[in-house]
Amino acid sequence: MNIRLSNFEQLIDPTILKRGHEYFKKGLITEIEDLGDGDYEATVEGSDLYTVHLHIDGDEVTEYECDCPYDRGPICKHVAAVLFSLRNDMEETDTPCQKTGTPLKKKESEAAQFEKLLDLLSTEELKTFLHDVCSQDKILRRQFIARHLTILYPESKEIYDRQIKEFVKIYADRDGFIGYYESSRLGDAVYEMVEEARKHVKTGKKNKALYMSEAIIEGMFRAITYSDDSNGEIGGCLDEAFGVLAELAYTDMDESLHDEMFDWLLRHFEGKDMKGWDWHTDLMRIAINMAKTEEEKKRIRIDLEQIKPNGNSRDWDYRCAQNLKLQLIRHTEDETAAIRFMETNMDNPDFRRELIEYAIREKDYAKAERLADKGVKQDEREAPGLAEDWRDYLLRIYLATHNTKKTIAMARHFFLTGNGRHQTHDYYYKLLKSLIPQPQWCQYVAELIADINERSRPDTNYYRVAEIYIWEKEWDKLFRLLQKSPDFHRIEEAEKYLAGTYAEELATMYRDLIINYMPDHIGRNHYQLVCKYLRRMAKLGYKPMAMELADLLKTQYRNRRALLEELADTF
Protein backbone atom coordinates (compact mmCIF):
# COMPACT_ATOMS: atom_id res chain seq x y z
CA MET A 1 0.00 0.00 0.00
CA ASN A 2 1.50 3.34 -1.08
CA ILE A 3 0.95 6.36 1.18
CA ARG A 4 0.91 10.05 0.38
CA LEU A 5 2.71 12.21 2.93
CA SER A 6 0.11 14.91 2.38
CA ASN A 7 -2.83 12.81 3.61
CA PHE A 8 -1.57 9.58 5.18
CA GLU A 9 -4.01 9.91 8.12
CA GLN A 10 -6.83 8.49 5.99
CA LEU A 11 -5.00 5.19 5.53
CA ILE A 12 -3.78 4.45 9.06
CA ASP A 13 -5.73 2.96 11.96
CA PRO A 14 -6.86 5.85 14.22
CA THR A 15 -5.34 4.32 17.36
CA ILE A 16 -1.97 3.81 15.66
CA LEU A 17 -2.17 7.31 14.21
CA LYS A 18 -2.82 8.84 17.64
CA ARG A 19 0.14 7.05 19.24
CA GLY A 20 2.43 7.90 16.35
CA HIS A 21 1.51 11.59 16.72
CA GLU A 22 2.25 11.40 20.46
CA TYR A 23 5.70 9.94 19.72
CA PHE A 24 6.33 12.73 17.23
CA LYS A 25 5.24 15.45 19.69
CA LYS A 26 7.35 13.98 22.50
CA GLY A 27 10.45 14.02 20.26
CA LEU A 28 10.98 10.28 20.43
CA ILE A 29 12.43 10.23 16.92
CA THR A 30 16.07 10.52 17.87
CA GLU A 31 17.57 10.60 14.38
CA ILE A 32 16.52 10.68 10.73
CA GLU A 33 19.11 10.07 8.04
CA ASP A 34 18.77 10.81 4.34
CA LEU A 35 20.44 7.86 2.58
CA GLY A 36 19.94 9.36 -0.87
CA ASP A 37 17.75 8.37 -3.81
CA GLY A 38 14.61 8.77 -1.70
CA ASP A 39 15.69 6.36 1.06
CA TYR A 40 15.39 7.41 4.72
CA GLU A 41 16.32 5.70 7.97
CA ALA A 42 15.01 6.81 11.36
CA THR A 43 15.57 5.72 14.95
CA VAL A 44 12.52 5.83 17.23
CA GLU A 45 12.48 5.40 21.00
CA GLY A 46 9.78 3.08 22.33
CA SER A 47 10.01 0.18 24.75
CA ASP A 48 13.26 -0.31 22.84
CA LEU A 49 15.10 1.52 20.06
CA TYR A 50 13.50 0.70 16.71
CA THR A 51 14.71 1.42 13.18
CA VAL A 52 12.30 2.62 10.49
CA HIS A 53 13.19 2.48 6.79
CA LEU A 54 11.19 4.43 4.18
CA HIS A 55 11.46 5.14 0.47
CA ILE A 56 9.83 8.36 -0.76
CA ASP A 57 9.12 9.22 -4.37
CA GLY A 58 7.90 12.82 -4.50
CA ASP A 59 4.93 12.96 -2.12
CA GLU A 60 4.45 9.20 -2.12
CA VAL A 61 5.89 6.76 0.43
CA THR A 62 6.30 3.56 -1.58
CA GLU A 63 8.14 1.45 1.02
CA TYR A 64 8.07 1.45 4.81
CA GLU A 65 9.37 -1.03 7.34
CA CYS A 66 10.02 -1.10 11.08
CA ASP A 67 11.89 -3.75 13.06
CA CYS A 68 9.46 -3.61 15.99
CA PRO A 69 7.35 -6.74 16.75
CA TYR A 70 3.99 -5.12 15.83
CA ASP A 71 2.08 -7.45 13.48
CA ARG A 72 -1.58 -6.39 13.69
CA GLY A 73 -1.51 -4.17 10.64
CA PRO A 74 0.71 -2.83 7.89
CA ILE A 75 1.77 0.33 9.77
CA CYS A 76 2.99 0.64 13.35
CA LYS A 77 3.12 3.75 15.57
CA HIS A 78 6.86 4.15 14.90
CA VAL A 79 6.32 4.44 11.13
CA ALA A 80 3.41 6.83 11.79
CA ALA A 81 5.65 9.01 13.97
CA VAL A 82 8.30 9.25 11.26
CA LEU A 83 5.63 10.14 8.69
CA PHE A 84 4.47 13.02 10.90
CA SER A 85 8.06 14.20 11.26
CA LEU A 86 8.87 14.04 7.55
CA ARG A 87 5.65 15.76 6.56
CA ASN A 88 6.30 18.52 9.05
CA ASP A 89 9.71 19.09 7.41
CA MET A 90 8.17 19.02 3.94
CA GLU A 91 5.43 21.52 4.80
CA GLU A 92 7.99 24.02 6.07
CA THR A 93 10.64 23.66 3.36
CA ASP A 94 9.11 21.63 0.49
CA THR A 95 11.72 18.92 1.16
CA PRO A 96 12.45 16.89 4.29
CA CYS A 97 14.96 18.86 6.38
CA GLN A 98 15.88 19.89 9.90
CA LYS A 99 12.85 21.84 11.14
CA THR A 100 11.43 19.40 13.70
CA GLY A 101 14.30 19.42 16.12
CA THR A 102 15.18 16.02 14.70
CA PRO A 103 18.43 16.42 12.73
CA LEU A 104 18.06 15.05 9.21
CA LYS A 105 21.54 13.91 8.28
CA LYS A 106 22.78 13.21 4.80
CA LYS A 107 24.51 9.85 4.96
CA GLU A 108 26.38 7.94 2.29
CA SER A 109 25.32 4.35 1.87
CA GLU A 110 27.79 1.65 2.87
CA ALA A 111 28.13 0.65 -0.79
CA ALA A 112 29.08 4.22 -1.73
CA GLN A 113 31.59 4.42 1.13
CA PHE A 114 33.08 1.08 0.07
CA GLU A 115 33.52 2.18 -3.54
CA LYS A 116 35.12 5.45 -2.43
CA LEU A 117 37.61 3.62 -0.21
CA LEU A 118 38.58 1.28 -3.06
CA ASP A 119 39.47 4.36 -5.09
CA LEU A 120 41.36 6.07 -2.26
CA LEU A 121 43.39 3.19 -0.86
CA SER A 122 46.65 2.20 -2.54
CA THR A 123 47.31 -1.26 -3.95
CA GLU A 124 49.72 -1.98 -1.10
CA GLU A 125 47.15 -0.95 1.52
CA LEU A 126 44.52 -3.20 -0.06
CA LYS A 127 46.97 -6.11 -0.27
CA THR A 128 47.96 -5.65 3.37
CA PHE A 129 44.31 -5.55 4.46
CA LEU A 130 43.42 -8.64 2.40
CA HIS A 131 46.46 -10.52 3.71
CA ASP A 132 45.60 -9.70 7.34
CA VAL A 133 41.94 -10.62 6.99
CA CYS A 134 42.59 -13.88 5.10
CA SER A 135 45.29 -14.86 7.59
CA GLN A 136 42.79 -14.59 10.42
CA ASP A 137 39.75 -16.01 8.61
CA LYS A 138 40.27 -19.51 7.16
CA ILE A 139 36.87 -19.53 5.43
CA LEU A 140 37.55 -16.24 3.68
CA ARG A 141 41.02 -17.47 2.68
CA ARG A 142 39.49 -20.60 1.10
CA GLN A 143 36.91 -18.49 -0.71
CA PHE A 144 39.62 -16.25 -2.10
CA ILE A 145 41.73 -19.20 -3.32
CA ALA A 146 38.73 -21.06 -4.80
CA ARG A 147 37.57 -17.99 -6.70
CA HIS A 148 40.99 -17.36 -8.25
CA LEU A 149 42.22 -20.93 -8.63
CA THR A 150 42.41 -20.67 -12.42
CA ILE A 151 45.10 -17.98 -12.07
CA LEU A 152 47.41 -20.46 -10.35
CA TYR A 153 46.86 -23.39 -12.71
CA PRO A 154 46.18 -23.80 -16.47
CA GLU A 155 42.49 -23.75 -17.31
CA SER A 156 41.04 -27.24 -17.87
CA LYS A 157 38.00 -29.31 -17.00
CA GLU A 158 39.96 -30.72 -14.05
CA ILE A 159 40.75 -27.29 -12.59
CA TYR A 160 37.09 -26.27 -12.78
CA ASP A 161 36.14 -29.54 -11.06
CA ARG A 162 38.60 -28.70 -8.33
CA GLN A 163 37.25 -25.16 -8.07
CA ILE A 164 33.71 -26.47 -7.49
CA LYS A 165 34.95 -29.00 -4.94
CA GLU A 166 36.75 -26.22 -3.05
CA PHE A 167 33.57 -24.15 -2.92
CA VAL A 168 31.58 -27.16 -1.67
CA LYS A 169 34.22 -27.89 0.97
CA ILE A 170 33.99 -24.32 2.25
CA TYR A 171 30.25 -24.47 2.88
CA ALA A 172 29.84 -28.11 3.99
CA ASP A 173 29.97 -29.03 7.68
CA ARG A 174 32.28 -31.68 9.13
CA ASP A 175 29.82 -34.42 8.05
CA GLY A 176 29.72 -33.06 4.50
CA PHE A 177 26.18 -31.67 4.78
CA ILE A 178 25.41 -28.20 3.41
CA GLY A 179 22.83 -26.35 5.51
CA TYR A 180 20.12 -23.95 4.39
CA TYR A 181 22.11 -20.72 4.67
CA GLU A 182 25.31 -22.32 3.42
CA SER A 183 23.45 -23.63 0.34
CA SER A 184 22.49 -20.07 -0.49
CA ARG A 185 26.09 -18.86 -0.12
CA LEU A 186 27.39 -21.75 -2.21
CA GLY A 187 24.82 -20.94 -4.88
CA ASP A 188 25.92 -17.30 -4.95
CA ALA A 189 29.58 -18.26 -5.36
CA VAL A 190 28.94 -20.79 -8.14
CA TYR A 191 26.46 -18.53 -9.92
CA GLU A 192 29.36 -16.18 -10.66
CA MET A 193 31.06 -19.06 -12.47
CA VAL A 194 27.87 -19.66 -14.48
CA GLU A 195 27.81 -16.02 -15.55
CA GLU A 196 31.47 -16.24 -16.54
CA ALA A 197 30.71 -19.35 -18.63
CA ARG A 198 27.84 -17.51 -20.34
CA LYS A 199 30.20 -14.66 -21.23
CA HIS A 200 32.64 -17.19 -22.72
CA VAL A 201 29.86 -18.41 -25.05
CA LYS A 202 29.29 -14.87 -26.27
CA THR A 203 33.02 -14.19 -26.79
CA GLY A 204 33.64 -17.46 -28.60
CA LYS A 205 35.64 -19.19 -25.84
CA LYS A 206 33.46 -22.25 -26.18
CA ASN A 207 35.82 -24.78 -24.65
CA LYS A 208 35.99 -22.76 -21.42
CA ALA A 209 32.19 -22.39 -21.39
CA LEU A 210 31.79 -26.14 -21.87
CA TYR A 211 34.29 -27.20 -19.22
CA MET A 212 32.95 -24.76 -16.65
CA SER A 213 29.33 -25.83 -17.27
CA GLU A 214 30.16 -29.53 -17.08
CA ALA A 215 32.09 -29.02 -13.84
CA ILE A 216 29.24 -26.98 -12.33
CA ILE A 217 26.61 -29.58 -13.30
CA GLU A 218 28.59 -32.54 -11.99
CA GLY A 219 29.72 -30.85 -8.79
CA MET A 220 26.45 -29.15 -7.90
CA PHE A 221 24.41 -32.27 -8.63
CA ARG A 222 26.58 -34.17 -6.13
CA ALA A 223 26.11 -31.32 -3.66
CA ILE A 224 22.32 -31.11 -3.97
CA THR A 225 21.94 -34.69 -2.75
CA TYR A 226 23.44 -33.81 0.65
CA SER A 227 22.22 -30.26 1.16
CA ASP A 228 19.17 -28.33 2.33
CA ASP A 229 18.40 -26.54 -0.91
CA SER A 230 14.96 -25.30 0.18
CA ASN A 231 15.75 -21.88 -1.28
CA GLY A 232 16.58 -23.43 -4.67
CA GLU A 233 20.01 -21.79 -5.02
CA ILE A 234 21.90 -24.98 -5.87
CA GLY A 235 19.16 -26.18 -8.19
CA GLY A 236 19.14 -22.73 -9.78
CA CYS A 237 22.85 -23.03 -10.56
CA LEU A 238 22.18 -26.37 -12.24
CA ASP A 239 19.36 -24.86 -14.31
CA GLU A 240 21.58 -21.99 -15.38
CA ALA A 241 24.50 -24.24 -16.27
CA PHE A 242 22.20 -26.38 -18.44
CA GLY A 243 21.07 -23.13 -20.02
CA VAL A 244 24.66 -22.38 -20.99
CA LEU A 245 24.96 -25.82 -22.59
CA ALA A 246 21.69 -25.22 -24.47
CA GLU A 247 23.16 -21.96 -25.83
CA LEU A 248 26.35 -23.78 -26.84
CA ALA A 249 24.35 -26.42 -28.72
CA TYR A 250 23.11 -23.77 -31.15
CA THR A 251 26.58 -22.38 -31.90
CA ASP A 252 29.06 -23.51 -34.52
CA MET A 253 31.59 -25.60 -32.61
CA ASP A 254 34.62 -27.30 -34.07
CA GLU A 255 34.10 -31.01 -34.61
CA SER A 256 36.18 -32.22 -31.67
CA LEU A 257 34.42 -29.95 -29.16
CA HIS A 258 31.03 -30.91 -30.63
CA ASP A 259 31.84 -34.62 -30.24
CA GLU A 260 33.13 -34.08 -26.71
CA MET A 261 30.00 -32.25 -25.58
CA PHE A 262 27.61 -34.68 -27.33
CA ASP A 263 29.35 -37.66 -25.73
CA TRP A 264 29.31 -36.02 -22.28
CA LEU A 265 25.56 -35.43 -22.51
CA LEU A 266 24.69 -38.97 -23.57
CA ARG A 267 27.13 -40.64 -21.17
CA HIS A 268 25.35 -38.96 -18.27
CA PHE A 269 21.93 -39.79 -19.74
CA GLU A 270 22.87 -43.45 -20.34
CA GLY A 271 24.44 -43.66 -16.88
CA LYS A 272 21.15 -42.39 -15.38
CA ASP A 273 23.19 -40.16 -13.09
CA MET A 274 20.36 -37.66 -12.78
CA LYS A 275 17.37 -39.97 -13.23
CA GLY A 276 14.35 -38.72 -11.34
CA TRP A 277 15.26 -35.09 -11.95
CA ASP A 278 14.27 -32.88 -14.88
CA TRP A 279 17.99 -32.48 -15.63
CA HIS A 280 18.07 -36.10 -16.81
CA THR A 281 15.68 -35.15 -19.63
CA ASP A 282 17.57 -31.90 -20.26
CA LEU A 283 20.67 -33.93 -21.12
CA MET A 284 18.82 -35.66 -23.96
CA ARG A 285 17.01 -32.53 -25.14
CA ILE A 286 20.29 -30.71 -25.66
CA ALA A 287 21.88 -33.77 -27.33
CA ILE A 288 18.98 -33.98 -29.80
CA ASN A 289 19.47 -30.33 -30.75
CA MET A 290 23.14 -31.09 -31.41
CA ALA A 291 22.65 -34.27 -33.40
CA LYS A 292 24.11 -33.99 -36.91
CA THR A 293 25.38 -37.34 -38.11
CA GLU A 294 23.38 -40.52 -38.64
CA GLU A 295 25.55 -42.19 -36.02
CA GLU A 296 24.54 -39.59 -33.43
CA LYS A 297 20.85 -39.89 -34.33
CA LYS A 298 21.08 -43.68 -34.12
CA ARG A 299 22.65 -43.51 -30.66
CA ILE A 300 19.80 -41.28 -29.47
CA ARG A 301 17.15 -43.63 -30.91
CA ILE A 302 18.75 -46.63 -29.21
CA ASP A 303 18.81 -44.82 -25.86
CA LEU A 304 15.15 -43.78 -26.15
CA GLU A 305 13.96 -47.22 -27.37
CA GLN A 306 15.33 -48.75 -24.17
CA ILE A 307 12.69 -46.88 -22.16
CA LYS A 308 9.63 -49.17 -22.17
CA PRO A 309 6.09 -48.56 -20.83
CA ASN A 310 5.46 -50.00 -17.36
CA GLY A 311 1.69 -50.37 -17.77
CA ASN A 312 0.94 -47.52 -15.37
CA SER A 313 -1.33 -44.80 -16.74
CA ARG A 314 0.99 -42.24 -15.13
CA ASP A 315 4.22 -43.57 -16.60
CA TRP A 316 6.25 -40.37 -16.51
CA ASP A 317 9.49 -41.87 -17.83
CA TYR A 318 7.82 -43.32 -20.92
CA ARG A 319 5.88 -40.10 -21.52
CA CYS A 320 9.15 -38.12 -21.42
CA ALA A 321 10.76 -40.63 -23.80
CA GLN A 322 7.85 -40.19 -26.26
CA ASN A 323 8.22 -36.41 -26.06
CA LEU A 324 11.94 -36.74 -26.75
CA LYS A 325 11.23 -38.99 -29.74
CA LEU A 326 8.87 -36.33 -31.09
CA GLN A 327 11.63 -33.74 -30.65
CA LEU A 328 14.03 -35.98 -32.57
CA ILE A 329 11.51 -36.47 -35.39
CA ARG A 330 11.04 -32.71 -35.68
CA HIS A 331 14.80 -32.24 -35.69
CA THR A 332 15.44 -34.86 -38.37
CA GLU A 333 12.20 -35.15 -40.39
CA ASP A 334 9.16 -32.94 -41.13
CA GLU A 335 5.95 -31.85 -39.37
CA THR A 336 3.86 -34.44 -41.22
CA ALA A 337 5.95 -37.20 -39.62
CA ALA A 338 5.60 -35.49 -36.23
CA ILE A 339 1.78 -35.38 -36.52
CA ARG A 340 1.67 -39.02 -37.63
CA PHE A 341 3.78 -40.01 -34.60
CA MET A 342 1.50 -38.11 -32.21
CA GLU A 343 -1.65 -39.61 -33.72
CA THR A 344 -0.32 -43.13 -33.18
CA ASN A 345 0.57 -42.38 -29.52
CA MET A 346 -2.59 -40.69 -28.27
CA ASP A 347 -2.20 -42.11 -24.77
CA ASN A 348 0.33 -39.33 -24.26
CA PRO A 349 -1.75 -36.33 -23.08
CA ASP A 350 0.88 -33.90 -24.38
CA PHE A 351 0.23 -35.20 -27.89
CA ARG A 352 -3.55 -35.05 -27.53
CA ARG A 353 -3.30 -31.48 -26.27
CA GLU A 354 -1.05 -30.42 -29.14
CA LEU A 355 -3.29 -32.06 -31.76
CA ILE A 356 -6.41 -30.43 -30.32
CA GLU A 357 -4.77 -27.01 -30.36
CA TYR A 358 -3.55 -27.59 -33.92
CA ALA A 359 -7.09 -28.55 -35.03
CA ILE A 360 -8.53 -25.45 -33.35
CA ARG A 361 -5.97 -23.22 -35.06
CA GLU A 362 -6.90 -24.83 -38.37
CA LYS A 363 -10.61 -24.36 -37.50
CA ASP A 364 -11.16 -28.10 -37.83
CA TYR A 365 -13.57 -28.02 -34.89
CA ALA A 366 -15.12 -31.41 -35.62
CA LYS A 367 -11.72 -33.11 -35.26
CA ALA A 368 -10.85 -31.06 -32.18
CA GLU A 369 -14.17 -32.06 -30.57
CA ARG A 370 -13.61 -35.76 -31.31
CA LEU A 371 -10.13 -35.66 -29.81
CA ALA A 372 -11.29 -33.81 -26.68
CA ASP A 373 -14.37 -36.00 -26.22
CA LYS A 374 -12.27 -39.18 -26.46
CA GLY A 375 -9.86 -37.68 -23.94
CA VAL A 376 -12.71 -37.14 -21.45
CA LYS A 377 -13.86 -40.75 -21.80
CA GLN A 378 -10.32 -42.10 -21.55
CA ASP A 379 -9.21 -40.12 -18.50
CA GLU A 380 -12.45 -39.62 -16.53
CA ARG A 381 -11.71 -42.29 -13.93
CA GLU A 382 -7.94 -42.42 -13.52
CA ALA A 383 -6.96 -38.86 -14.42
CA PRO A 384 -9.94 -36.57 -13.65
CA GLY A 385 -7.75 -33.47 -13.85
CA LEU A 386 -6.88 -34.30 -17.44
CA ALA A 387 -10.55 -34.96 -18.19
CA GLU A 388 -11.29 -31.41 -17.03
CA ASP A 389 -8.59 -30.11 -19.40
CA TRP A 390 -10.34 -31.84 -22.29
CA ARG A 391 -13.69 -30.38 -21.16
CA ASP A 392 -12.12 -26.94 -21.19
CA TYR A 393 -11.19 -27.50 -24.83
CA LEU A 394 -14.76 -28.64 -25.50
CA LEU A 395 -16.10 -25.40 -24.02
CA ARG A 396 -13.78 -23.39 -26.25
CA ILE A 397 -14.97 -25.40 -29.27
CA TYR A 398 -18.66 -24.92 -28.38
CA LEU A 399 -18.10 -21.17 -28.06
CA ALA A 400 -16.28 -21.04 -31.39
CA THR A 401 -19.06 -22.99 -33.13
CA HIS A 402 -21.85 -21.03 -31.36
CA ASN A 403 -23.35 -24.20 -29.90
CA THR A 404 -25.41 -22.52 -27.17
CA LYS A 405 -26.94 -25.66 -25.67
CA LYS A 406 -23.60 -27.43 -25.19
CA THR A 407 -21.93 -24.21 -24.03
CA ILE A 408 -24.53 -23.79 -21.27
CA ALA A 409 -24.15 -27.41 -20.16
CA MET A 410 -20.35 -27.20 -20.02
CA ALA A 411 -20.27 -23.75 -18.35
CA ARG A 412 -22.70 -25.06 -15.72
CA HIS A 413 -20.47 -28.08 -15.15
CA PHE A 414 -17.42 -25.88 -14.56
CA PHE A 415 -19.34 -23.44 -12.36
CA LEU A 416 -20.54 -26.24 -10.10
CA THR A 417 -17.39 -28.36 -10.02
CA GLY A 418 -14.52 -26.15 -11.17
CA ASN A 419 -11.68 -25.16 -8.85
CA GLY A 420 -10.63 -22.09 -10.82
CA ARG A 421 -7.95 -24.00 -12.70
CA HIS A 422 -9.16 -22.88 -16.12
CA GLN A 423 -11.37 -19.85 -15.40
CA THR A 424 -12.77 -18.16 -12.31
CA HIS A 425 -16.29 -18.94 -11.08
CA ASP A 426 -17.52 -15.51 -12.10
CA TYR A 427 -16.38 -16.14 -15.69
CA TYR A 428 -18.69 -19.14 -15.97
CA TYR A 429 -21.47 -17.31 -14.14
CA LYS A 430 -21.32 -14.34 -16.50
CA LEU A 431 -21.19 -16.70 -19.47
CA LEU A 432 -24.33 -18.48 -18.26
CA LYS A 433 -26.09 -15.17 -17.62
CA SER A 434 -25.30 -14.03 -21.15
CA LEU A 435 -26.83 -17.20 -22.65
CA ILE A 436 -29.88 -17.90 -20.46
CA PRO A 437 -32.96 -15.87 -21.52
CA GLN A 438 -33.61 -13.11 -18.97
CA PRO A 439 -37.16 -14.25 -18.00
CA GLN A 440 -35.72 -17.66 -17.07
CA TRP A 441 -32.68 -16.36 -15.19
CA CYS A 442 -34.12 -16.13 -11.65
CA GLN A 443 -35.36 -19.71 -11.82
CA TYR A 444 -32.02 -20.83 -13.26
CA VAL A 445 -30.14 -19.17 -10.37
CA ALA A 446 -32.41 -20.90 -7.86
CA GLU A 447 -31.60 -24.24 -9.48
CA LEU A 448 -27.88 -23.46 -9.40
CA ILE A 449 -28.06 -22.75 -5.67
CA ALA A 450 -29.98 -25.97 -5.10
CA ASP A 451 -27.29 -27.89 -7.00
CA ILE A 452 -24.54 -26.23 -4.97
CA ASN A 453 -26.23 -27.18 -1.70
CA GLU A 454 -26.63 -30.75 -2.89
CA ARG A 455 -23.08 -31.20 -4.25
CA SER A 456 -20.86 -29.23 -1.87
CA ARG A 457 -19.82 -29.45 1.76
CA PRO A 458 -21.61 -27.01 4.08
CA ASP A 459 -18.46 -24.91 4.61
CA THR A 460 -18.05 -24.62 0.83
CA ASN A 461 -21.75 -23.99 0.25
CA TYR A 462 -21.70 -20.70 2.08
CA TYR A 463 -19.05 -19.05 -0.09
CA ARG A 464 -20.43 -20.39 -3.36
CA VAL A 465 -23.96 -19.21 -2.58
CA ALA A 466 -22.76 -15.93 -1.05
CA GLU A 467 -20.88 -14.99 -4.22
CA ILE A 468 -24.09 -15.50 -6.25
CA TYR A 469 -26.02 -13.18 -3.92
CA ILE A 470 -23.20 -10.63 -4.21
CA TRP A 471 -23.18 -10.80 -8.01
CA GLU A 472 -26.97 -10.42 -8.04
CA LYS A 473 -26.85 -7.71 -5.31
CA GLU A 474 -29.35 -9.67 -3.24
CA TRP A 475 -28.28 -8.15 0.08
CA ASP A 476 -31.24 -9.41 2.13
CA LYS A 477 -30.56 -12.97 1.02
CA LEU A 478 -26.85 -12.56 1.74
CA PHE A 479 -27.66 -11.36 5.26
CA ARG A 480 -30.03 -14.27 5.93
CA LEU A 481 -27.38 -16.69 4.67
CA LEU A 482 -24.81 -15.12 7.01
CA GLN A 483 -27.24 -15.34 9.93
CA LYS A 484 -27.47 -19.11 9.50
CA SER A 485 -23.72 -19.72 9.86
CA PRO A 486 -21.82 -16.66 11.04
CA ASP A 487 -18.11 -16.65 11.78
CA PHE A 488 -15.59 -13.84 12.17
CA HIS A 489 -14.17 -14.04 8.66
CA ARG A 490 -17.55 -14.29 6.95
CA ILE A 491 -18.89 -11.24 8.77
CA GLU A 492 -15.75 -9.26 7.96
CA GLU A 493 -16.07 -10.20 4.28
CA ALA A 494 -19.76 -9.27 4.23
CA GLU A 495 -19.26 -5.86 5.87
CA LYS A 496 -18.55 -4.09 2.60
CA TYR A 497 -21.94 -5.17 1.28
CA LEU A 498 -24.11 -5.16 4.41
CA ALA A 499 -22.71 -2.45 6.70
CA GLY A 500 -24.96 0.22 5.24
CA THR A 501 -28.18 -1.64 6.08
CA TYR A 502 -27.25 -4.16 8.77
CA ALA A 503 -24.51 -2.45 10.80
CA GLU A 504 -26.14 -3.11 14.18
CA GLU A 505 -26.85 -6.74 13.31
CA LEU A 506 -23.25 -7.30 12.21
CA ALA A 507 -21.89 -5.70 15.38
CA THR A 508 -24.22 -7.90 17.43
CA MET A 509 -22.98 -10.99 15.58
CA TYR A 510 -19.39 -10.02 16.38
CA ARG A 511 -20.35 -9.54 20.04
CA ASP A 512 -22.03 -12.94 20.31
CA LEU A 513 -19.16 -14.71 18.56
CA ILE A 514 -16.59 -13.07 20.86
CA ILE A 515 -18.55 -14.09 23.96
CA ASN A 516 -18.73 -17.70 22.75
CA TYR A 517 -15.11 -17.69 21.58
CA MET A 518 -13.42 -16.56 24.77
CA PRO A 519 -13.99 -19.49 27.18
CA ASP A 520 -12.11 -22.03 25.07
CA HIS A 521 -9.38 -19.85 23.56
CA ILE A 522 -6.40 -18.81 25.66
CA GLY A 523 -3.26 -17.05 24.42
CA ARG A 524 -2.22 -13.66 23.13
CA ASN A 525 -2.89 -14.48 19.49
CA HIS A 526 -6.51 -15.29 20.36
CA TYR A 527 -6.84 -12.09 22.39
CA GLN A 528 -5.45 -10.06 19.50
CA LEU A 529 -8.09 -11.62 17.24
CA VAL A 530 -10.83 -10.67 19.70
CA CYS A 531 -9.54 -7.09 19.91
CA LYS A 532 -9.44 -6.89 16.14
CA TYR A 533 -13.15 -7.60 15.98
CA LEU A 534 -13.87 -5.25 18.85
CA ARG A 535 -12.33 -2.53 16.69
CA ARG A 536 -14.48 -3.63 13.76
CA MET A 537 -17.57 -3.30 15.95
CA ALA A 538 -16.52 0.27 16.68
CA LYS A 539 -15.85 0.93 13.02
CA LEU A 540 -19.39 -0.18 12.22
CA GLY A 541 -20.58 2.67 14.44
CA TYR A 542 -21.19 0.68 17.63
CA LYS A 543 -18.24 1.68 19.77
CA PRO A 544 -20.33 1.81 22.98
CA MET A 545 -21.34 -1.83 22.41
CA ALA A 546 -17.69 -2.75 21.82
CA MET A 547 -16.48 -0.89 24.91
CA GLU A 548 -19.22 -2.47 27.03
CA LEU A 549 -18.10 -5.90 25.82
CA ALA A 550 -14.45 -5.02 26.51
CA ASP A 551 -15.38 -4.07 30.11
CA LEU A 552 -17.25 -7.36 30.46
CA LEU A 553 -14.20 -9.29 29.27
CA LYS A 554 -11.92 -7.38 31.67
CA THR A 555 -14.18 -8.39 34.54
CA GLN A 556 -14.91 -11.95 33.47
CA TYR A 557 -11.29 -12.78 32.58
CA ARG A 558 -9.44 -10.51 34.99
CA ASN A 559 -6.74 -13.17 35.59
CA ARG A 560 -5.74 -13.25 31.92
CA ARG A 561 -3.03 -10.60 31.97
CA ALA A 562 -2.25 -10.78 28.25
CA LEU A 563 -5.94 -10.19 27.47
CA LEU A 564 -6.02 -7.13 29.74
CA GLU A 565 -2.92 -5.74 28.00
CA GLU A 566 -4.44 -6.20 24.55
CA LEU A 567 -7.76 -4.66 25.64
CA ALA A 568 -5.91 -1.67 27.11
CA ASP A 569 -4.31 -1.07 23.69
CA THR A 570 -7.60 -1.37 21.82
CA PHE A 571 -9.47 1.75 22.93
What's the CA gap between 36 and 107, in Å, rounded? Answer: 7
- The reported pLDDT for the residue numbered 70 is 80
The yes-or-no verdict on residue 374 having pLDDT over 60 is: yes
* Low-confidence winner among 171-175, 353-357, 459-463, 531-535 (lowest mean pLDDT): 459-463
pLDDT in tens, 114-155: 888 888 989 998 888 888 888 887 777 777 776 776 777 667
Neighbours of 241 (CB within 10 A): 28
Do residues 30 and 44 lie in contact, with contact meaning Cβ atoms separated by under 8 Å?
yes
* Higher local confidence (pLDDT), 287 or 86: 287
> Is the pLDDT assigned to residue 98 strictly greater than 50?
no
The mean pLDDT value of the chain amounts to: 90
Query: At residue 23, does pLDDT exceed 50?
Result: yes
In a 13 Å sphere around the CA of 12, the CA atoms on its Cβ side amount to 25
**pLDDT (tens digit, 9 = 90+) per residue, 145-201?**
767 767 776 677 888 898 899 889 999 998 999 999 899 989 998 998 999 999 999
Which candidate, 9, 15, 45, places its Cα nearest to that of 27?
Answer: 45
Mean pLDDT of the 5-27 span: 86
DSSP readout, 501-521? HHHHHHHHHHHHHHHHHGGG-
pLDDT in tens, 321-368: 999 999 999 999 999 999 999 999 999 999 999 999 999 999 999 999
pLDDT at 105: 55
Residue 108: what pLDDT? Answer: 61
At 101 the pLDDT is 44
- What is the arithmetic mean of pLDDT over 37-57? 87
Q: Is residue 107 scored above 70 in pLDDT?
A: no
For position 560, what pLDDT does the model report? 93
Q: In angstroms, rounded to a whole number, what is the distance separating the alpha carbons of residues 329 and 351? A: 14
Looking at per-residue confidence, does 35 or 197 come out higher? 197
Average pLDDT of the segment spanning 300-312 = 92
d(CA 219, CA 164): 6
pLDDT band at 420 (very low <50, low <70, confident <90, very high): confident
Out of 63-67, 347-351, 388-392, 438-442, least confident range: 63-67
